[in-house]
Amino acid sequence: LATQRSQNDNCHDNIMIDIKEQRDDESEYWQGTDKSQNLAVLPLVPSPSIIQIQQSHGPALKQMQCRFPDASTHDLIRFLKARKYDVNKSASMYGAHLKWREDKFPILEEGVKETLATRKFYMLDDLDRGGRPIIYYCLRRFKEMDYVLEDEINALIYLVEHKVIPRFGLCTDTKMFTVLIDMSGVRSLPLSFLRRLNTVMEANYPETLFRTVLFPVPYFLQKVVSGSLAFVDKKTRDKFAYVNDIKSLENFAMIPVKKMGPDVSEMLKSKRLKY
């Protein structure tokens, strides 16, 4: 017992929490209001200090780091948050994630290039105002062309791993991404894809979603769409915003429409999205 205690003490003493201070321009609150729906935009809050992080994550984080010494601090914190700091549940979840990675990777570009070329989803060139990458989903393309579900999921995982994550910033608030979901021309959601997507992201990329913006979604359809997405856990659904005009879209997405890519430009030209 004395030997085990000594080993644990040494493990705890050698743990380094690699936290980067947030840049000054990202430390201020950012707020906006979608007046058409009376919904407040979630604030961009300052990153916690090192002391706060040690106090909030300390004991649980140390146990996780002893169990997974090769894991990044940020990854372990994400999985702890996902399981409300229950170390055993977090460790089980992270262990399953490692097994998933072992089975799933590598995903080669050659194998997903054709799927990515359909532009059902892609990453925008520009980051949002908080320094986060943006994934754009064009849902009508799932109805316009045939697709193989696992091919789409593999292509999305490739996109996240090779395009999105490499653009994450150093601080906690920028190790997340924003999602824009283009609902134009959609009469029914591609639920099989969305369910599989939710399962993969929830199990393997927890706490990486900053916000999901669905547009254009008229107010009278918001409850219908929300009900269709009831399979998504409440914590994630609370990050959903439904908008129907350009000003609201820019406020929630935290990026000008002129930087949202060709699909949004086409929507503006055809007046499917209005001020």
Q: What is the pLDDT of residues 14-44, one digit of tens each?
A: 433 343 333 333 333 233 334 344 344 444 5
How far from 29 is each of 32, 44, 201, 213, CA to CA, in Å?
A: 10, 5, 28, 19
pTM of this prediction exceeds 0.85:
no
Cis peptide before 216 (omega within 30 of 0): yes
**pLDDT at position 2 over 60:** no
> What is the reported pLDDT for 111?
97
> What is the reported pLDDT for 137?
98
Q: Where are the alpha helices (DSSP H) in 105-188?
A: 109-116, 140-144, 149-159
Q: What 3 state SS string does 36-62 have?
A: CCCEECCCCCCCCCHHHHHHHHHHHHH
Q: What is the pLDDT of residues 112-142, one digit of tens each?
A: 999 999 999 999 999 999 999 999 999 999 9
> What is the reported pLDDT for 1?
40
Please state which of the ranges 52-56, 99-103, 240-244 shows the lowest mean pLDDT: 52-56
Distance between CA 240 and CA 23 in Å, rounded?
26
Model confidence at 270, in pLDDT bands (50, 70, 90)?
confident
